Chain A
Amino acid sequence: MEDALTLILAGISVGSVYALIAIGLNLTYWTTRTMNFGQGSVMMLGAMMTAVLVAGGVIDALAALASLVVIAAIMVFTEVFTVRPALKIGGSMGWAVSTLGVGIILQGVAAKYFGSQAVAFPDMVFSAQDYVEVFGVRFALQYLAILVLSVALVALLELLLRRTVWGRAMRAVSMDADLAAVAGIPVRPIVLGSYIASGLLAGIAGMLIAQTGGTVDPAFGFDLMIFGFVAAVLGGIGSSSGALLGGLVLGVIEKLVGGYVSTAAAHGIAFALLVVVLVARPQGLFGQREVVKV
């Protein structure tokens, strides 16, 4: 029982990070109906650059910030040179290939310059040994901190989307880009902004996951992106509450399966779950069927 509780908490914590990744994917899906399939490399770079900078003597926070700035630049490049041209061809899925391509190149660059070995990720706030005891069960402080930070980020994003002019403008673009443009909303900067925000969420997610695992290597992000994608699809693509729930469910299942069966089985079960949900409810748990205007 004690083990189960520990595993569930770890699952919720990791799941909240999957939710972060899923919401990052949602952001660009809203504005352009595209997703950055190179997102895994963005997560890896966020964690990798931070680890390398900290190892080089830079203060933690500054290292994280610098990594996020680089990520923002990469996302601008991705949107301008790989997504926008692909979208000019109506009905093309070229963006899926081109964004994946950028991701693979980034992974190659990281392997060349940082080496393909795992790099130790520094303990940022709490060390892996810190814990609190609640009702006799030990909860790792790292997991708690990650949970709090991810949930706070999701809440902040929702608040921005609901309450600010930019958020409202972004929702308008996601509903009808032409109508938004005619209403005077600068569609291009908003699309670019959604890509940057998506990358920043991914970068932060990468750092958080690397924190729990303790290491990061160039291939680190790919699985994570798959989990984020599964969380997004589980919850219903485009739905924030769906992404949150999808992420949590996925995280808990992953940890329970990993704890009681085998960590090797976690992936298989995650995908089996995805298949079952998609058969029963193609629009995802919270998703709405896309109505396509003819």
Chain B
Amino acid sequence: MLDVAGLSVAYGGLRALTEVSISVAEGQFVTVVGPNGAGKSTLFKTICGVVPAQAGSIDFDGASLLKRPAAMRAHLGIAHVPEGRQVFKTMTVHENLELGAYPAAGRRQWKHTLERIHTLFPILHERAQQLAGTLSGGEQQMLAIGRGLASAPRLLLLDEPSMGLAPAVADTIFERISQIHREDGLTILLVEQRVAEALELADRGYVLETGRVAMEGSYQTLMADDRVRRAYLGMGEA
């Protein structure tokens, strides 16, 4: 469904990604892990069109995305939930969700998806008329995910949904993400620093280091690898 091949990106002269190749098949849950500054967010921003690519290709359903502006990519069915629980703070929770449903698919299925979002995150239903800026961090993250879902996407990009959240709240968020994948069959690409949890959920994982894919494979392969265990999970002999 999504094929990133040989992707290189530079920010103001600095290389952020070097020949990164990643693929996500329909219905899969794929995770990208790696330390801070490895280029994970850059990868997502390039996929959704906020940052231009320098070289390489990004194909969605076999057609190149690179020539398409960011807004168009949302209409093709790619929903991006950026890091840092970004919501439109001076709009209500409900207005945020409505804006998420801006793409045609989202508008068509609005009633159904809104119900689903409210089932997943009942707090968003309770706080529907509240300004998004007044929500707690965890609630804002739920709203950001809800806004992504409101577009009735075919591919959901989640950028560090657990960032800055209390562990218990992060657990709830992971649970919901897993539920969205299992019950709705939504294809998900997740970037995370909480490596163990993230890899556990995923069908496949990629390890990104200093802008390159250092390793890839299934959960079992990655978890069995000494380097991954040492560097990210604090396990194995030093």
Contacts and interface: CB of A to CB of B under 8 A. Distances in A.
Interface of A: 165, 168-169, 171-172, 175-176, 178-188
A176 B95 CA distance: 15
Interface string B89-103: 111000100111011
Given A175-B90, A181-B70, 6 more contacts: A168-B95, A176-B86, A179-B86, A180-B99, A182-B50, A183-B74
A181 B102 contact: no
Given A168-B95, A168-B98, A169-B102, A175 B71 contact: no
B89 A183 contact: no
A172 B48 contact: no
B40 interface: no
Nearest to A171: B91
A182 B74 contact: yes
A184 B86 contact: no
A237 B189 CA distance: 40
Contact of A184 (B89, B91, B98, B103): B103
Given A171-B91, A172-B88, A178-B50, A183 B98 contact: no
A112 B86 CA distance: 52
B102 A185 contact: yes
A176 B86 CA distance: 9
A182 B115 CA distance: 23
Given A168-B99, A172-B88, A176-B88, A184 B50 contact: no
B71 to A, nearest CB: 5
Given A171-B88, A172-B88, A176-B88, A184 B82 contact: no
Contacts of A168: 91, 95, 98-99
B37 to A, nearest CB: 17
A186 B88 contact: no
A165 B71 CA distance: 15
Q: List the 6 closest A-B pairs by CB distance, nearest first.
A: A184-B74, A181-B70, A184-B103, A182-B80, A184-B102, A186-B71
B236 interface: no
B49 interface: yes
Contact of A181 (B71, B91, B106, B147): B71
A145 B148 CA distance: 47
B71 A187 contact: yes
B48 A175 contact: no
Contacts of A185: 71, 99, 102
28 contacts: A168-B95, A168-B98, A168-B99, A171-B88, A171-B91, A172-B91, A175-B88, A175-B89, A178-B50, A179-B82, A179-B88, A180-B99, A181-B49, A181-B69, A181-B70, A181-B74, A182-B50, A182-B74, A183-B99, A183-B100, A183-B102, A184-B74, A184-B103, A184-B151, A185-B71, A185-B99, A186-B71, A188-B69
Contacts of A183: 74, 99-100, 102, 147, 151
Given A172-B88, A175-B90, A176-B86, A182 B48 contact: yes
B157 to A, nearest CB: 9
Nearest to B44: A182
A291 to B, nearest CB: 10
Interface in B86-144: 86, 88-91, 95, 98-100, 102-103, 106
B195 to A, nearest CB: 25
Nearest to A187: B71
A238 to B, nearest CB: 11
B84 to A, nearest CB: 10
A183 B78 CA distance: 9
Contacts of B89: 175
A18 to B, nearest CB: 26
Nearest to A188: B69
A176 B71 CA distance: 13
B18 to A, nearest CB: 24
